[in-house]
Amino acid sequence: MKQASIKKQLLHSFFIMAILWANCLFVQAVQPFAPLFIPKKQEVRAVWLTTIKGLDWPTTRATSEENIVKQKKELTDILDKLQEARINTVILQTRVRGNLIYPSRIETWCESFSGEAGCSPGYDPLAFAIEECHKRGMEIHAWMVTIPLGSVEVHKDMGAQSITKRIPKICTRFRNNWYLNPGHPETKNYLKEIVKELVTNYDIDGIHLDYIRYPDRPKRFPDASNYRKYGRGFDNLAQWRRNNITEIVRTIHAEVKQLKPWVKVSSAPLGKYRDTQRYPSRGWNAYHAVHQEAQLWMHEGIHDMIFPMLYYRNNDFYPFVLDWKEQSNGRIVVPGLGIYFLHPSEGDWTLDEVERQLNFIRWSNCNGEAYFRSRFLTENTSGLYNCVQERYYRTLATIPPMPWIDNVPPSKPTAVTLSRKGSASHLHWQPSTDNTDGGVHYNVYASTTYPVDTENPENLVAIRLKDCSYLHHHFIARGKAIHYAVTATDRCGNESDAVQLSYPDKPVNTTPTPVHQYSPQRLTIEEDIVCLPQHITGEERVIVTNIAGRPIADLPFNRKLNIKALPAGIYIVNTTTNGGEIRKVGFFTKK
């Protein structure tokens, strides 16, 4: 027994050291050789956009027509900034603390927009946000704070409109705050009605459940009488509480799927589910500390996505990312990153900490990442915005599909035509015949080779278009003929076959771009510097790949390459010219 324990400890230590070594290698290599990896075509790139107290939006209160315009512009400026960084998902705080950011028959207005609890801002912020996100090809998910209702003071301001006054039997006061009581059977039905109203009335892409759990370490949560009344058949209080939370999730999921099966159901559980074989959670986890059985929700199929709040570093991050992915049951796993720690007032994180996490998320084949909160991204805290825009999100990305809901792609669009508008190409097509409910949108691809490779994210130039037309400014072509492909995508992310359109004024060339042979040679290394031959001229970029052909670096042309950060191995060097020709230069061996 003792020997087995020692062996287990050694394996655990080896695993953690391997993770740390791999991530140190990733980040070191990113500095001179960015980007280190091929962009992903399907990837969730999300932000949580907070409305409580206007932390992210709004900072202007809608007290006049002029201020309503300012408030709306604040959001469009944020969304423009996110679109420029190729973010594709906005998780908008919609239910705040027992109040809402849209007109409802069930709960009252949040004060963040008008400045006064229960008072309308004079327009519908949720409807406006949905319209603006969809214009920019972004999904928008309604973020609902489920169990917490806010402080006693907040509900005093709400007065008779407060749920604590209207339906006191499902509310519980605990530590000077109000909560919905998960142990009361009517709580799940109350939340179901809110979700029903929301999904019925709005073209939302997802329902995102936050704080779908008991308060932190709830030993004294006052639900003993509910346990005595409703807890029969459960071995203990903790098991009953976990079932209460899961029953709420089941009820909400069933309601959403009955109304609109394509609307994604997700949550943001604590980042550590429970102790893993790799590393302990040190007593702070979803399962035990707050009675949140989130991995069961994926296994049972009552979740489409999960956004675990992995706001940690080092051993408290990497092993738990793997645990979520391994227990995903094929669902979409999107680790949440605590980028607020980059701000000097919040923590002592440096940018390379977040870069290591981004690298590891891609290495572990998760489905993307989410940033808490949006302001820390859009304000370029510690250079993060520039980093993701230039390195990690160089290309657009589509949302991964949901084959467990529907795996049949729509029919492809037809009759694609092209006309010139100055230096731009104006594309038109006929819609997919499956677009009967308006749920089909379109992706456009462009390339100088034909047929256009729609699996290559580098060719993706527009996503989630609702209209059957697109104006492409093709300054990237450098005078070469551009070919196009258009696909249809349904609400579940299934993508049709492509309709291809060749450049109309020139014959189609289906042969690959010619490669100029330079007589590739072994390149020498002197003090971690590889020098390219002097006779190479007219080049624009240097491309370094590993022996398998995977890109390691794509850099502006320079005869001297610093390879200090690269691991041992054989590497191939090519260059490209202004005309797009690829030239083989040589190879080198890093020992």
Question: pLDDT tens for residues 330-373?
Answer: 999 999 999 999 999 998 899 999 999 999 999 899 999 999 99
Shared domain check, 297 and 368? yes
Residue 523's pLDDT band (cuts 50, 70, 90) = confident
Residue 554 lies in a domain: yes
338 and 476 share a domain?
Answer: no
Residue 1 has pLDDT above 60, yes or no: no
Least confident window among 340-349, 377-386, 579-588? 579-588
Q: Which tens digits make up the pLDDT trace of 271-312?
A: 999 998 888 888 889 999 999 999 999 999 999 999 999 999
Domain assignment present for 164 = no
Residue 260 in this model has a pLDDT that exceeds 80? yes
Rounded to whole angstroms, how far apart are CA atoms 412 and 498?
Answer: 6
Read off the pTM.
0.81
| 548 falls within a domain | yes
For residue 228, the domain's CATH number is 3.20.20.80
* Average of per-residue pLDDT across 386-390: 92
What local confidence, expressed as pLDDT, does residue 23 receive? 42
Q: Which residue has the higher pLDDT, 554 or 326?
A: 326
**Is the domain of 369 the same as that of 443?**
no
CA distances from 330 to 270, 325, 355, 443 (A): 20, 8, 25, 25
- Please count the other Cβ atoms lying within 10 Å of the Cβ belonging to residue 303: 24
Q: What angle do CA 355, 325, 440 make, to 5 degrees?
A: 90
For residue 66, what are its two tokens? 């002029």
Average pLDDT, the chain: 87
The residue out of 358, 392, 426 marking a domain boundary is: 392
Query: What pLDDT score was predicted for residue 36?
Result: 45
493 shares its domain with 525: no
Q: Answer yes or no: do 260 and 114 share one domain.
A: yes
For residue 465, what is the domain's CATH number? Answer: 2.60.40.10
Q: How far apart are CA 17 and CA 21, in angstroms?
A: 6
> What is the number of helices (H) and of strands (E) in the chain?
15, 30
243-257, 298-312, 431-445, range with the lowest pLDDT: 431-445
Q: What integer is the mean pLDDT of 444-457?
A: 92
Asked whether residue 279 is assigned to any structural domain, the reply reads yes
Same domain for 251 and 296, yes or no, is yes
Rounded to 5°, angle at Cα 501 from 416 and 37? 120
Between residues 548 and 462, the one the model is more confident about: 462
Question: Residue 479, exposed/middle/buried by CB under 10 A (0-12, 13-18, 19+)?
Answer: exposed
- Number of domain units in the chain: 3
pLDDT digits (tens, 9 = 90+) for 192-214: 999 999 999 999 999 999 999 99
* Amino acid found at 381: T
Among candidate residues 256, 133, 267, 151, the one with its CA nearest the CA of residue 194: 256
Q: Return the pLDDT at 30.
A: 32
Residue 5: what pLDDT? Answer: 44
- Percent with pLDDT over 70 in the chain: 87
Q: What is the pLDDT of residue 531?
A: 84
Average pLDDT rounded to a whole number, residues 239-251 = 98
Within 8 A by CB and 6+ apart from 25, the residues are 565, 567
169 Cβ contact partners less than 8 Å away, ≥ 6 residues apart = 184, 186
Would 152 be classed as within a structural domain? no
**Which token pair is 264?**
């994604």
The structure tokens 């240097």 sit at 542
Contact 408, 495 (CB under 8 A): no
Tokens read off for 245: 């939370």
Same domain, 69 and 106: yes
For 484-521, what is the HEC assignment? EEEEEECCCCCECCCEEECCCCCCCCCCCCCEEEEEEE
**Could you tell me if 238 and 306 lie in one domain?**
yes
Q: Which of 468, 501, 534 is the last residue of a domain?
A: 501
In a domain, residue 81? The reply is yes
Confidence of residue 492 (pLDDT cuts 50, 70, 90): very high
Q: What is the mean pLDDT of residues 1-17?
A: 43
Do 475 and 533 belong together in one domain? Answer: no
Q: Could you tell me if residue 88 is inside a domain?
A: yes
Question: Residue holding tokens 């097509």?
Answer: 429
Say how many C-beta atoms besides its own lie within 10 A of residue 228's C-beta. Answer: 9
Q: Please check whether residue 404 lies inside any domain of the structure.
A: no
Q: Which residue would you say has higher pLDDT here, 217 or 242? A: 242
**Cα gap 271→286, rounded to integer Å:** 7
Instruction: Please tell me whether residues 559 and 458 are part of one structural domain.
Output: no
- Cβ of 467: how many Cβ atoms within 10 Å? 10
Tell me how far apart the alpha carbons of residues 485 and 447 are, in angstroms, rounded to a whole number.
Answer: 9
Higher pLDDT, 565 or 264: 264
Predicted pLDDT at 540:
74
Could you tell me the residue range of the domain that residue 421 belongs to?
Answer: 414-501
The verdict on 497 and 520 lying in the same domain is: no
Mean pLDDT of all residues in 474-503: 83
Of 392, 423, 442, at which residue does a domain stop? 392
CATH of the domain at 579: 2.60.40.3080
pLDDT > 50? residue 591 = yes
Same domain, 356 and 496: no
